[in-house]
Amino acid sequence: MSAVPETGPLAVAELAFAASRGLFEQVATDLTSPDAAALTHSGLEDLLAARMREVTRQLFQDHLDLRAVREQRADPVVDAAGVERTRIERGRRRILATVFGKVTTTRIAYRATGSADLHLSDAALNMPAGMHSLGLARLAATESARGSFAEAVDRVNVLTGAGIGHRQVQELAVAAAADIDAFYQALVPEPCTDATLLVLSTDGKGVVIRPEALREATAKAAAAKNGNKMATRLAPGEKNGRKRMATLGTVYDAEPAVRGIDDIITDPADPVKERRPGPKARSKWLCGSVNDTAEQVITAVFDQAEARDPEHRRTWVVLVDGARHQLDLIRAEAGRRNVTVHIVIDIIHVLAYLWGAAHCLHPAGDLAAETWVAGHARTILAGGSEQAAATISAAADDAGLRPGSRKGIDDAVGYLKNKAACLRYDTALSEGFPIATGIIEGACRHLVKDRLDITGARWGLPGAEAVLKLRALRSNGDFDTYWAWHETQEFTRNHQARYRDTLIPAA
């Protein structure tokens, strides 16, 4: 009589991994062959990458099979509506596409007439709503935020061999970004002293969007413009799509750094002078949206600022480029919250207007133009924007410029007069405020232009919104923290919400 095989827990575990152990041993055996001995190191890398992925996939499968063997019926199982599952069906199977390949999980289905089945094993594994694992979703989100969707597909398939398609990668990226807004609403900011500046800034950048995703006003304008368009080709300069504005916002902390005029614009008579640095940004937070309006994004920026300073004890500095609509929204939001904000227009925008005026008075390449701009810039930095406007206007009159030749001067004079309240750089510098929008300008470049404005891109609204939010998340350095939080939200949505009683995922 043959001996009865050992059936204890250790033996069950030993038998459960027989398939993956056999695959590993086969790989080890193949590496001793003459064919393997002839491989270069890169050939060995390729061989092991392919073979060991299958070993790992089989380990995953063996572990799921072991869980299936060990699963015991739970009683009672009651759904969120209070309906108890009185019947079970064993052997219910489900496919999961993982970063190692496809596996099948077998589990108990808890059933009741007229109600959807429940699977406690799915909750323990925090199984996704669809076929693709959270690991694949994370990889798809990471690669979609980094490069084009086509590149993301290639990268995901090279790393996993999943054979995933363009549509699936885009859908996974969109789903991965679903909890970003809620994540930041729940995130507790780092504490700061009352002396630390609280800096806010917003800006916009156009994104080429498919016609069906345009805002209503833009769609009507595009339709009117295209009423007489050619049937077989685009008109000169016309794009096969139109732009929708992506609004970006940032909030950061900075210690005041007092500076003077010479630290910004060197005195032409005394050019050699060490400059004091400006305020350094820390705890930077970026957000952006193609879907939301500028008003909604500005509200989110103020929400973040208020989370950092709920009692309004700190000095709030708002850096802008001077757009009227933007200024109106900022002032309205500050008024609703009863918070005092110090609005400062970016000095670089002011310099651009000064150069436009200089070109009206100086021929191209005239070095005197630089001295002219520097002189007026120093006047403006001293708080004399209206004085500079009067001087520039008088210079145009003295030069006898005709109306058609003085547009740059008229634009600069109008800007300096209309924005005078936001050009008090003398106060800003003495209080240690930043006076340039470099952080939000940089965000427009690396969040939008470097990804959403790549050649040939025409975006649907969900994809553009997801990629923009994912890039902001990564720029903030919060991706890993967010992903752990996102997985918890996935468990709550997909599993916990379906049961009456609290579920605790298996360790």
What are the pLDDT tens digits along the chain (507 aa)? 444 445 556 666 778 899 999 999 999 999 999 999 999 999 999 999 999 999 999 999 999 999 999 999 998 999 999 999 999 999 999 999 999 999 999 999 999 999 999 999 999 999 999 999 999 999 999 999 999 999 999 999 999 988 999 999 999 999 999 999 999 999 888 889 999 999 999 999 999 988 876 656 555 555 555 555 555 555 554 554 578 899 999 999 999 999 999 999 987 767 667 889 999 999 999 999 999 999 999 999 999 999 999 999 999 999 999 899 999 999 999 999 999 999 999 999 999 999 999 999 998 888 899 999 999 999 999 999 999 999 999 998 888 888 888 999 999 999 999 999 999 999 999 999 999 999 999 988 988 988 888 877 788 999 999 999 999 999 999 999 999 999 999 999 999 999 998 776 543
Model confidence, pTM = 0.85
One-letter amino acid for residue 264 of the chain: I
**Residue whose C-alpha is closest to residue 473's, from 173, 166, 170, 115:** 173
- What pairing do the DSSP bridges indicate for beta strands 281-289 and 115-118? unpaired
Amino acid at 188: V
Cα–Cα dist 157/139, whole Å:
10
In this structure, are residues 226 and 191 in contact, taking their beta carbons and an 8 Å threshold?
no
Q: For the stretch 363-388, what's the b/e string if a residue is b when 16 or more beta carbons lie within 10 angstroms of its beta carbon?
A: eeeeeebeebbbebbbbbbebbbeeb
End-to-end CA distance of the chain: 42
Partners of residue 188 on adjacent β-strands: none
Domain ranges (residues) in the chain: 6-69, 71-187+479-500, 192-225+238-444
Cβ burial of 359 (10 Å; 0-12, 13-18, 19+) is middle
Helices (H) and strands (E) in the chain, counts: 21, 8
Place of tokens 């996102």: 486
